Amino acid sequence: MTRKLAAAPEPPSDALTVAPSAWISPDARIFPSVRGTKIAIGAGSKLFEFAVIRAVGGSGDVVIGERCMINPHCVLYSGSGIEIGDDVALAPGVQIVPANHAYHRRDLPIARQGFLPSKGGVKIGDDVWVGANAVLLDGAEIGKGAVIAAGAVVTGKVPPYEIWGGVPAKKIGTRGEEAL
Ligand SMILES: CC(C)(COP(=O)(O)OP(=O)(O)OC[C@H]1O[C@@H](n2cnc3c(N)ncnc32)[C@H](O)[C@@H]1OP(=O)(O)O)[C@@H](O)C(=O)NCCC(=O)NCCS
């Protein structure tokens, strides 16, 4: 006997906005919300193959500014919200998931404990470069012009034009100091 699966609800038409000059690889995947949150991709931004943007795990929106590069295998889950400024580059494999499962109880599987309160989502200022495989956690706020080194795990605020790396990420330099 075969069981029929219920048809998945369709997202509303304003759940996803892509500027006409943005480019989305046919091999990238975007899963807009059926629960009212929004995904917006600004003018001139590019989403490369196997990048995934999924509305899930919270009530935040995903807003990507202009001329951003979201490279292959980046994963952005909306969670408590993701705000990305203009001219931001996410190197391959960057993971942005601003949501945490509640996990403290032992008598209930984590999957049934819901979520911890939001720490404000993830915010990335203009002209930021996030290196390959970096992970940005809920509450990460990356100031304008900052650089995040490959493999970093960012948990909080990174001041403008600083270079941060490591797990958890710490300051490892300042951008452009030698050139000033
Ligand atoms: C952060 C980064 C830009 C620095 O490069 P750089 O200017 O050549 O700097 P250096 O290699 O001289 O390293 C400077 C210091 O940072 C440390 N460092 C460099 N990369 C680091 C990393 N990923 N994590 C932790 N520390 C790092 C170095 O060990 C060095 O420390 P020290 O001064 O104590 O010896 C580079 O290491 C990086 O992570 N690039 C990302 C590459 C990438 O993702 N490319 C994809 C293109 S879209």
Q: Which long-range contacts (CB under 8 A, 24 or more apart) does 171-179 make?
A: 173/147, 175/145, 175/146, 175/147
Q: Which pLDDT does position 178 carry in this prediction?
A: 61
DSSP letter at 156 equals S
Check pLDDT > 90 for residue 2: no
**Which residue among 35, 101, 105, 171 is the active-site one?**
101
Domain containing residue 156: CATH number = 2.160.10.10
Residue 43 lies in a domain: yes
The minimum-distance atom of ligand 1 relative to the CA of 131 is: 44
What's the domain range around 53? Answer: 16-102+112-179
pLDDT confidence of 9, banded at 50, 70, 90?
confident
Q: What's the gap in Å between 128 CA and the centre of ligand 1?
A: 15
Higher pLDDT, 3 or 165: 165
Active site residue 101: yes
The residue among 131 and 6 whose pLDDT is bigger is 131
Distance from the CA of 150 to the center of ligand 1, in angstroms?
A: 7
Q: Which atom of ligand 1 is least distant from the CA of 130?
A: 44
Return the pLDDT at 5.
Answer: 76
Rounded to whole angstroms, the Cα distance separating 52 from 92 reads 12
pLDDT at 130: 98
Q: Which of 74, 154, 170, 172 to mutate to test the pocket of ligand 1 (most atoms within 8 A of CB)?
A: 172
**What's the pLDDT tens digit per position in 35-86?**
889 999 999 999 999 999 999 988 999 999 999 999 999 999 999 999 999 9
Residue at 6 is within a domain: no
pLDDT at position 6 is: 78
User: In whole angstroms, what is the distance from residue 17 CA to residue 4 CA?
Assistant: 32
Which has the closest alpha carbon to 165: 147, 176, 152, 155?
152
pLDDT at residue 129 tops 90: yes
pLDDT tens string 85-124: 999 999 999 999 999 999 999 999 999 999 999 999 999 9
Reference 170, options 70, 160, 156; nearest CA is 156
Cβ(147) – ligand 1 distance below 6 Å: yes
Domain count, the chain: 1
Ligand 1 center to 86 CA (angstroms): 23
pTM of the model: 0.94
